[in-house]
Amino acid sequence: MFIDETSDESNESLQVKILSLCKDALDVEVDIKDLNYVNRLGKQKRNTEKPRPAVMSLVSNIMKKKILFSTAKLKGANIFITEDYDKETQLQRKELLKIHLGMRATGQQSKLRRNGLLLNGKFIHFSELIEKYKSYSDKLELNIEDANFKQREIDENIRKKRRINGKDTSFRRGSDSAASSPANKD
């Protein structure tokens, strides 16, 4: 069961397909007003039977949770619904998955959660896991130095994204917004 793609497919027809999938397969009533946008990823290739993945953005997190919770109803179908993570989170989750599989192999209860693992009922953050379970990651051929480098890269990107509270940082370069000028500082 795929969300079929035609050569002349428009975003409106893709919206209709996704809305009907949510209604029929997931038993979740999604209205067109609940959608922020819907589109396909990548360029359309000729002579291919495999449809491109579709991305859907919702206005409400409540609706997103309903849809993600209902994905168990798609078991056995060739449709997969997952959250779309940024590149940093994808790298973290890739490393977390390796540690998670190592924990499960040793008989520990492990569940993958956003930025860490739930180990035997206790949540452990990604950075703690890298430090604490080096032996598991070595067994899984996880390069700790590479993971730490990735973590430093992620931390650096997060720091760049955050607004630094300080005297000289109230003005953001490249912005013509009056709210970001030094005179309007709160």
β partners of residue 119: 110, 122
**DSSP-assigned letter for residue 77:** S
Instruction: Give the chain's end-to-end CA distance (angstroms, integer).
Output: 54
Q: How many CB atoms lie within 10 A of CB 149?
A: 11
For the chain, what percent of residues have pLDDT higher than 90? 23
What is residue 38's predicted lDDT score, i.e. its pLDDT? 93
Q: What is the pLDDT of residue 177?
A: 45
Residue 161 CA: distances (Å) to CA of 84, 118, 152, 154, 175: 19, 27, 14, 11, 15
Judged against a pLDDT cut of 70, whether residue 83 lies above it is answered with: yes
Higher pLDDT among residues 52 and 158, named by residue = 52
Residue 158 has what pLDDT? 73
Tell which wins on pLDDT, 83 or 130.
83
* Residue 166: pLDDT over 50: no
pLDDT tens profile 31-81: 999 999 999 988 888 777 788 889 999 999 999 999 999 988 988 888 888
pLDDT digits (tens, 9 = 90+) for 90-118: 888 888 888 888 888 888 888 988 788 88
Looking from the CA of 50 toward its CB, the CA atoms found within 13 Å total 7
pLDDT at residue number 97: 87
pLDDT for the residue numbered 85: 84
